[in-house]
Chain A
Amino acid sequence: MMMNATCKDRERIFEDGTPGEWAALEAHSANCPVCAEELKAWKSLSVAAQEMRDYTDSPSFWPRIERALAEEAVRKTQRAERRSWLSFLPSVPLSWQTAVAGAFVLVLTISAGWIYVHWPNRPEQHDKSLLKSAALENVEHAEAVYVQAIDRLAEETRPQLENPATPLLANYHEKLVVLDSAIADLRAQAGLNPSNAQLRHQLLAVYQEKQQTLEEVLEARKQ
């Protein structure tokens, strides 16, 4: 059944009328010039609003947004990597941390041994000033030899790590990626400040950890 509307209902219907009420107002307007004019004027605003709609395509706009999104994604990844490196020690499992700490001690011994070998004329120089500026050259040489050895080891394990057959190998692979990024970071810092013994110790500790990990990969391969 058709409902009725009067002039008094008009504003309320304009604000929140149901379709039935709008139909009733239209019907009322057929015989009420005032409401007819009001209705027309009210609708004309909506019609005018269409003039403010311009949906023409801009072919260069999406590529521009896409580029910005891609750049932001790269920045996001870099930030995440930096964070993961900064939180490297706390985030690695306790067993790794223990291994790193142990390696730290071991590396001191190894370094001392190497320097002893490469520096036979000064066997008595086994004091704790190994990493002072006078010994820096020797440490760097020892480090280079050590790195070469590790690289050879890494070469041997590469096939297993690139296509890890087991979750264990995949874990090793991930761990090595983290260690390599730590090495790169420490090397950069050590490059800026070559005589910083603390940095050297840390670097050697991470190398040692890498060596052990690579050895574990080789072990896992045999099993």
Chain B
Amino acid sequence: MGTMGLALPWKARIASVPRQRETRVEPSEHYAGGPKPTIVDAITEDAALAAGCRAGNLQTYERLYSIHGARMRNLARNLLGNLGDAEDAVQETFLKVQRSIASFRGQSSFVTWTYRILINTCYDARRSRLRKKEVANDDSGETPRLEPRAPGAHPSLRMALERALATLTKHQRDVFLLYEVEGFRHAEIAGMLEITETASKNTLFQAKKNLRLILEPPRSSAAEAR
């Protein structure tokens, strides 16, 4: 029985992780009872952010940054592999929001739209980095080079996961990062990546299955049926 689980270097430490994360992890899409007041607040906040940015109000941009800046920076860092490129991408995203807010028609939430810009900006940056590498005849591959960062509780755990993530498809990596790392709901991810909610759920499932395969040693063919 004990041989069936993940043989990750960090496996032993996982038990010490707070439960609070688990409650969000899987069934987070389903709220018992009516609409949560926090959702209504979020919609109001979103509309206010969009209106302020449209009006060119710098304080609104600052508010957008205070709410989402850290998360945007973290997402960009995980997509690009280093903080310098991540910060450039976030700054570029703010400028793109400023330049194109007039064309934002509210098809998605403003924040969703902003993250979509960020994700595209990160992929543009990766592509141009790749082109530069090609020009420089450097064939070190397109996976983000991971620079050291502030040590977390389990640095080896993070590094193992980062390496495994680099082997996933773009969509699987995006969905995993957005859902599991940044804590977005599938409905939000669907808007950011312009896919359906079902596709987001399925992609996350495939991503996690692949990550398990990468991180887990080959299993004995022990019978599993019951």
Contacts and interface: CB of A to CB of B under 8 A. Distances in A.
B12 to A, nearest CB: 11
A6 B158 CA distance: 32
B211 interface: yes
Interface string B52-77: 00001010011001100111011001
A16 B21 contact: no
Interface in A62-84: 62, 64-66, 68-70, 72-73, 76
Contacts, number: 150
A66 B4 contact: no
Contacts of A163: none
Contacts of A44: 6, 8, 11, 14
B216 A41 contact: yes
Given A54-B77, A65-B91, 10 more contacts: A14-B26, A16-B198, A37-B2, A40-B5, A47-B17, A51-B161, A54-B149, A57-B70, A58-B87, A65-B94
Contacts of A68: 91, 94-95
B205 A15 contact: yes
A61 B87 contact: yes
Contacts of B155: 51
A48 B216 contact: no
Given A15-B205, A46-B21, A66 B73 contact: no
A48 B69 contact: no
Contacts of A73: 56, 58, 98
Contact of B182 (A6, A11, A18, A53): A53
Interface in B1-51: 1-2, 4-6, 8, 10-11, 14, 17, 21-22, 25-27, 30, 32
Interface in B168-219: 176-177, 180-182, 198, 201-202, 204-205, 208, 211-212, 216
Nearest to B28: A19
B161 A47 contact: no
Given A15-B201, A47-B14, A72 B95 contact: yes
Main secondary structure of the interface of A (DSSP, over half): helix
Interface of B: 1-2, 4-6, 8, 10-11, 14, 17, 21-22, 25-27, 30, 32, 56, 58, 61-62, 65-66, 69-71, 73-74, 77-78, 87, 90-91, 94-95, 98-99, 149-150, 152-155, 157-158, 160-162, 176-177, 180-182, 198, 201-202, 204-205, 208, 211-212, 216, 224-226
A54 B75 CA distance: 9
B26 A17 contact: yes
B157 A51 contact: yes
Interface of A: 6-7, 11, 14-19, 21-22, 32-34, 36-38, 40-58, 61-62, 64-66, 68-70, 72-73, 76
A1 B6 CA distance: 33
Chain A CB within 10 Å — which of B8, B78, B91, B198 has the most? B91
Contacts of B65: 62, 65
Nearest to B216: A41
Given A51-B154, A55-B71, A14 B30 contact: no
A34 B211 CA distance: 19
A48 B26 contact: no
B208 A50 contact: no
Given A40-B5, A41-B212, A53-B181, A46 B25 contact: yes
A46 B180 contact: yes
B186 to A, nearest CB: 9
Contacts of B87: 58, 61, 64
